[in-house]
Structure 1
């Protein structure tokens, strides 16, 4: 394997241009090299599977962060007496009965998800604090501006991680293709070498027999 790697330290696969030179000559044993190629392919496949799982997790996580951020921003704007011109498609449906002249006086009614198929209705108090799940069964309270800053940071980090994973997956696919080509070229070279040896041996045996007959 090459020492060259991508920014996330995934090693770059070397392309074997001269198979005979790589294996050490026309009489070299190819089994060790074949095993090395197969081992490299297995490692790339393992990394690809892990990154694919992480990609799927982030693709589920990012919309949730966006919805949570949109809700907290809405609450902050509501406290500041602002009204949203339109709601994002990703936000939970909100039902705001507020009179234009009395912002923040009436309770805000919304629905929230309990699980994949169960929702509940609740009235939101006019509060400057929200509770955010941080993972591992941990929930902390934040003031609205701090919650917005935290969620924006988490969203940026998640989107950056997703971009890196997508780039790494593309890089891995290229390395897998190179190693599969290397494996095929090594196999074909070995088959040709064995065939040439067999033909040479048959020709020598045939020549020896003709001399004996003469």
Structure 2
């Protein structure tokens, strides 16, 4: 079965409805299968959208932290240990405070799960750069997957409509035959 690079299966396109409908698989069962497949794709899409929202929030934070670490790295590289940096730092989304800090060549980074570690600024910059690169790659893949999923959802909806319309046509033909046979 075909799939995208991250393993999402490709939805088959129904060109000939008669190939999918048989006495063993009546229209109702085929429609149910197509609707279930479309629901699975929609579920994956919802999860991908949540992942994208998380990345959209996370990437600016990583960039902002990386910029600060690079600034501290440049200040530490100057070698003036007595120089203090006056900075405005964020306590909350809308609350900031002023502080005077001496560049020490070390920074503390939140890693998540209430864990903070101290790193030399060079190591912190490398770590944040790799995290940013990975997050950007994941965002790109997520965007590609969302486009792919939308295509698969559309394909399954078209398949469902084609089978349903074919069934309506077959019922009309059967009714017309029955009416013609009844008139004779």
Q: TM-score, normalised by structure 1?
A: 0.82
Larger RCO, structures 1/2 (Cα 8 Å, 6+ apart): 2
Q: Deviations over 1:145-197 (max 9, x none)?
A: 10011000100100000000000000000101100100000110000000000
Residue 6 of structure 1 corresponds to which residue in structure 2? 4
Residue 178 of structure 1 corresponds to which residue in structure 2? 155
Larger Rg: 1
Cα distance between partner residues in 1 of 2:32 and 2:92:
48
Query: SS of 1:142's equivalent?
Result: strand
Task: List gaps (5 residues or longer) in structure 1.
Answer: 83-102, 208-214
Cα distance between partner residues in 2 of 1:119 and 1:147:
24
Residue 146 of structure 1 corresponds to which residue in structure 2? 123
How far is 1:105 from its partner?
Answer: 3.2
Task: List gaps (5 residues or longer) in structure 2.
Answer: none
Matched residue count: 184
How far is 1:112 from its partner?
Answer: 1.5
Query: SS of 2:82's equivalent?
Result: coil
How far is 1:68 from its partner?
Answer: 0.6
1:62 and 2:59 are equivalent in the alignment: yes
Residue 16 of structure 2 corresponds to which residue in structure 1? 18
Q: TM-score, normalised by structure 2?
A: 0.95
Alpha-carbon RMSD: 1.5
